[in-house]
Structure 1
């Protein structure tokens, strides 16, 4: 006679990430040590340990039986009745681990003691090797590294399915691609790799070593991991080296949050205007992305310019099943952020109604659930036809228009995933600002205060409405939002440079002695400016100081708008200027920002001259 002992084995990688252990030998021994018996089902066994070769040899005479786990990690023993009253040591012999990259025959199997149990008292013995033990076995013995993660929407916490997630190792010279994976219906993904993947260098395969980015150069055991994620060409996660998780262990568990969401046409959730692009929130506060009381954006006191995406989320339908519409109103009258908003009557400009304010942009992407190779991804671009006469924007209308323009019926929406790109509407700020640029001014002459560019502020209000059966809009006040002050500017940065000694000659004559620069820099939102001098041989390559005005960097002081100098000496005593051709270059940058990127550095404005001794 005999009785059956059944069990299941899994390894824990993260709190919510497990793997089935298949092809593992399960071995029963008579107890080697008494007093350790348990019927524990919990993940953490009190007696788990690596079995040494010496211990395994001593226990040979205690061997009872062995079997192998199937594809689901299940195992089964038929045990003779003579062992009816016995407990057993349960060991596993691990020849490899799931998804290990290396299949080196020199790698010896690992024997692991799990517990001592009375199997006759159990219906089934489910055992999870705890992550601290399992991850160490995977990495230390089999060089198997793994990332388990989940991707979800930041606002709704809804998992994002079908996205491609790529893990990168930040290195000193070239970053290593650790691998990519596609998220499942729960937003989960898994990436497996080995140490050779992140120890690649320009001397690989001869020299493989992990290096940290930046200086001083450090050599570490684990990679510095950051992530990128895309869906239908849309960036969901766009981390950089600065976001890298340093020197990670064999198992890395991550949660990745994206502003972009994948929704269903019948999903309902709170609508919200949350930001400007991906750089600033639409809120007053002390956070690095918030607006201050005066209307400056973010910690660097940026000012909005050009076309700006007003970002957030809105479902296609209300809980009633009616269509959702939304709109943005703008007031020239402002109040400090954090105080009472301007009166309703001041919001006289409406995007989609007031000419010039609306800018077309991708607001939704439709991604075919089952790709066919033809029109699998359709960008839904906002259009003037999607607004009514009061500026209410109908995203469902935009979706249906896109489907019919591409040969689909509106009912074919069910064939597509709806990717909310986070852009509600895009605003052309140039249609709001009206300050003229400063007039041309000779180099070295300060801008006349009468011509200084004045500050321009606007208040922005977001409203959500439900389209009723009678064709009217029911405004939902609980979902509205107003930002009282937002500073905008679309003026050009003014900068001009000359060499005094060249202007006093033919502009082509060699010059000698002390050389003087003439420059003027001005912008109401100036962040930085600098002068640099170099010669052809680069024996001279240095910045020029004009203390305390220049160089200027990281400026947020609204009173520092630039400077002018009619006669700035650029020689460096003791004289370092040899006979050669020189270039004097002027660079500057404003704090203008479109919510995605800051306006690029302007320059160089350059003056060339030949210096003779």
Structure 2
């Protein structure tokens, strides 16, 4: 009898944005020891942890199947088994890099995800089950830090109406060097995502102090003061961070309020009238 396991693995950024674990490798093992039935029925998702080299080597004899996920984090695994398969599956992933990583790839890193008995369904000559997992945001931030790869996500909205601003380019700059560290485009909902490097294996402090500029094509729409990068809310940021930008377009900033223009016209008119009156009535 053959078994087919299909599914998807992705990760959560700041509890609001999901990205797939593109081209990661998923590995399925038989567990080393039995688990209580009540745990296996619901599936056991322990805290995601790193799998060291020694543990990885010891587990090789229990390897059931492995494959590489596609660019959307989808996978399909199959194997043969002579009896009804009721054993739990131990599920690990192996990453050579993370989405958007710009620094050179280093050694692959392995993480344990879960221990679970899939809900197998009979389909002609095989059993089929599905498995989906979303890496929690706090774990994903730590994993990205392991690879020295940061990500910022958020939305660009009009400062006054709060309406989404699509089709713009968001650029992030290092406040200490004024060099661009990453960029991304806003979608139809005004949402953007940009990637950049951080110190490899660095903590939250390795995240650079950044400020933003927003462009429409090559035209600067909005730029914030780089002193914003040193505000308390921008300090000790995580490798996965959310920053919503409320933009006042430069074209609107340049427009003088109507009442100011009316006042200026009245002042000029009054001044001219007084000057004319003075010219006409000056006596020796």
Alignment TM class, shorter chain as reference: 0.7 to 0.9
In structure 2, list runs of 5 or more residues that go unmatched: 122-128, 272-284
SS in 2 for 1:223: coil
Out of 309, 332, 336, the position equivalent to 2:256 is 309
Deviations 1:276-331 (Å, cap 9, x if unpaired)? x75xxxxxxxxxxxxxxxxxxxxxxxxxxxx9622xxxxxxxxxxxxxxxxx6x6x
Instruction: Specify whether residues 33 and 256 from structure 1 end up closer, same or farther in structure 2 by C-alpha distance, changes over 3 A only.
Output: farther
Q: Distance in 2 between matches of 1:97 and 1:185?
A: 25
Question: Residue 52 of structure 1 corresponds to which residue in structure 2?
Answer: 52
Query: What do residues 237-267 of structure 1 show as CA deviations (whole Å, max 9, x unaligned)?
Result: 3211221122422112111112449xxxxxx
Change (3 A) 1:39 1:27: farther
- Matched position secondary structure for 2:243: strand
Partner of 1:231: 216
**1:138 pairs with one of 118, 140, 144:** 144
Aligned pairs for 1:158-177 (under 5 A) are: 158-171=163-176, 174-177=177-180
User: 2:247 maps to what in 1?
Assistant: 258
1:451-470 C-alpha deviation (Å, 9 max, x unpaired) = xxxxxxxxxxxxxxxxxxxx
Residue of structure 2 equivalent to 1:37: 40
TM-score (norm 2): 0.77
Is 2:184 aligned against 1:186?
Answer: no
- The alignment partner of 1:15 has SS state of coil
Distance 1:85 1:184 in 2: 45
Give the secondary-structure state (helix, strand or coil) at the position aligned to 1:430.
helix
3-state SS of 2:237 partner: coil
Indicate if the aligned counterparts of 1:84 and 1:120 stay in contact, CA closer than 8 A.
no
- Correspondence for 1:90: 91
The answer to whether the 8 A contact 1:167-1:179 is kept is yes
Q: Secondary structure at the match of 2:13?
A: strand
Structure 1: where are the runs of 5+ without partners?
198-219, 262-276, 279-306, 311-327, 331-425, 437-613
Q: Deviations over 1:411-452 (max 9, x none)?
A: xxxxxxxxxxxxxxx72543234798xxxxxxxxxxxxxxxx
Q: State the distance in 2 between where 1:227 and 1:4 align.
A: 47
Residue of structure 1 in register with 2:228 after alignment: 243
SS of equivalent to 2:87 = coil
- CA gap 1:157/1:166 in 2 versus in 1, 3 angstroms: same
Query: Which residue in the other structure is 1:492 paired with?
Result: none
1:153 CA displacement? 2.1
Query: 1:24: how far off?
Result: 1.4
1:353-368 equivalent positions in 2, closer than 5 A: none
Once residues 41 and 174 of structure 2 are traced to their aligned partners in structure 1, the CA distance between those partners, rounded to angstroms, is 43
- Aligned mate of 2:265, from 431, 451, 464: 431
**Structure with more helix by fraction:** 2
Cα distance, 1:124 vs structure 2: 2.0
Question: CA 1:187 to 1:180, structure 2 compared with 1: closer, same or farther past 3 Å?
Answer: same
Contact kept in structure 2, 1:160 and 1:187, CA below 8 Å: yes
1:346-495 matched pairs, under 5 angstroms: 427=261, 429-433=263-267
Larger Rg: 1
Q: How far apart in 2 are the matches of 1:162 and 1:221?
A: 30
CA distance in 1, matches of 2:212, 2:61: 52
Flag the structure with more relative contact order, 1 or 2, with Cα contacts below 8 A and sequence separation at least 6: 2
Q: How far apart are residue 31 of structure 1 and its match? A: 1.3
Report if the CA contact (8 A) 1:32-1:89 is conserved: no
- Compared CA separation, residues 47 and 222, structure 1 to 2 (3 A): closer
Structure 1 length-normalised TM: 0.38
Q: In structure 2, what is the Cα distance between the partners aligned to 1:12 and 1:139?
A: 14
Q: How far apart are residue 83 of structure 1 and its match? A: 5.5
Contact 2:43 2:117 in 1 (8 A): no
**How many Å separate the matches in 1 of 2:26 and 2:166?**
37
Write the distance in 2 (CA, Å) between the matches of 1:257 and 1:37.
Answer: 47
| Cα separation, partners in 2 of 1:22 and 1:221, compared to 1, 3 Å | closer
> Counterparts of 2:144 and 2:170 in 1: how far apart (Å)?
22
Deviation at 1:232, TM superposition (A): 5.5
**What's the C-alpha RMSD, in Å, of the aligned pairs?**
2.9
